Structure 1
Amino acid sequence: MTAQRGFTLIEVLVALLVFGLIATAAAQVGGQYISSYERIRDKTLAGWVADNRISEIRLQENLPEISERSDDIEYGPYRWRVTTAVQATADPLLRRVEVTVAKFRGNEAEPAPVHTLYAFIGDS
């Protein structure tokens, strides 16, 4: 009689189990990487939007009026809601500006906040 060579069913099942565990771990790491990338991308774009809004206010000739307003804008391939709140300070020639940037996701009616930037703008 000749001895047959090959893997037993148990050995094949163990190999499939090991491969499945490795594949599951790799998928989780890949998913975390993509999620982290999207979060960083959104924070970066929202930071730029907020910086642009602060720069627009600083370039105005007059001190901004105390107010709050929201604008929906397109920046990059995304829609954003930029909320600008100008608040008084103890110094009448100084304003506190808070810019909150929120991103619209999919078909949601309300955007999710991503970034808030604060600045003080004075009349020189």
Structure 2
Amino acid sequence: MKTQKGFTLIEVLVALLVFGLIATAAAEVGSQYISSYERVRDKTLASWLADNRINEIRLEENLPGIAENSRDTDFGPYRWRVTTAVLATAEAKMRRVEVTVARYREDRTEPVPIHTLSAFVGAQ
């Protein structure tokens, strides 16, 4: 008498279910990794832009006037909006500077804020 060797239909279906669950979990982990990487990348680039803007203001010879302005710039492979707000303080020879950096996304017309940096700048 010949005996047949192999898997039953139930065993194959259970194996497919297990592999399907593992593949779904792996895809979710991969998606979270990519999202985390994008957030860290955007935060790093935005913080460099904000830090650069603060240093530009510190290198100016005169104390900046109280105002708010925005400019668009390309940095890395992305387009950014850098908004600088110069605010008064109780000390007349000192200003508070807030720089907000937002990144333009392909699916939106307005940029998405990523990072804000504050600093104080004083007259020499």
Specify the code of the residue in structure 2 equivalent to 1:85: A
| Deviation of 1:65 (Å) | 0.3
Question: 1-side partners of 2:51 and 2:67: how far apart?
Answer: 19
Question: 1-side partners of 2:109 and 2:121: how far apart?
Answer: 32
Asked if residue 82 in structure 1 is aligned to residue 82 in structure 2, the reply is: yes
| Deviation of 1:109 (Å) | 1.0
TM-score normalized by structure 2?
0.99
Question: 1-side partners of 2:107 and 2:33: how far apart?
Answer: 24
Question: 2-side partners of 1:3 and 1:87: how far apart?
Answer: 87
How many residues get paired? 124
* Equivalent position of 1:69 in the other structure: 69
* Equivalent position of 1:121 in the other structure: 121
Specify the code of the residue in structure 2 equivalent to 1:116: T
Question: 1-side partners of 2:36 and 2:107: how far apart?
Answer: 22
Question: 2-side partners of 1:116 and 1:110: how far apart?
Answer: 17
| Deviation of 1:107 (Å) | 4.2
Question: 1-side partners of 2:11 and 2:87: how far apart?
Answer: 71
Gaps of 5+ in 2: none
Segments of 4+ moved more than 4 angstroms: none
* Equivalent position of 2:93 in the other structure: 93
Specify the code of the residue in structure 1 equivalent to 2:31: G
Q: Secondary structure at the match of 1:35?
A: helix
Q: Percent identity?
A: 73
Specify the code of the residue in structure 2 equivalent to 1:10: I
| Deviation of 1:108 (Å) | 1.5
* Equivalent position of 1:34 in the other structure: 34
Q: Secondary structure at the match of 1:62?
A: coil
* Equivalent position of 2:46 in the other structure: 46
| Deviation of 1:3 (Å) | 0.9
Gaps of 5+ in 1: none
* Equivalent position of 1:109 in the other structure: 109
TM-score normalized by structure 1?
0.99
RMSD across aligned positions (CA): 0.5
| Deviation of 1:17 (Å) | 0.2
Q: After the TM superposition, which of the residue ranges 101-110 and 36-45 deviates more from structure 2?
A: 101-110
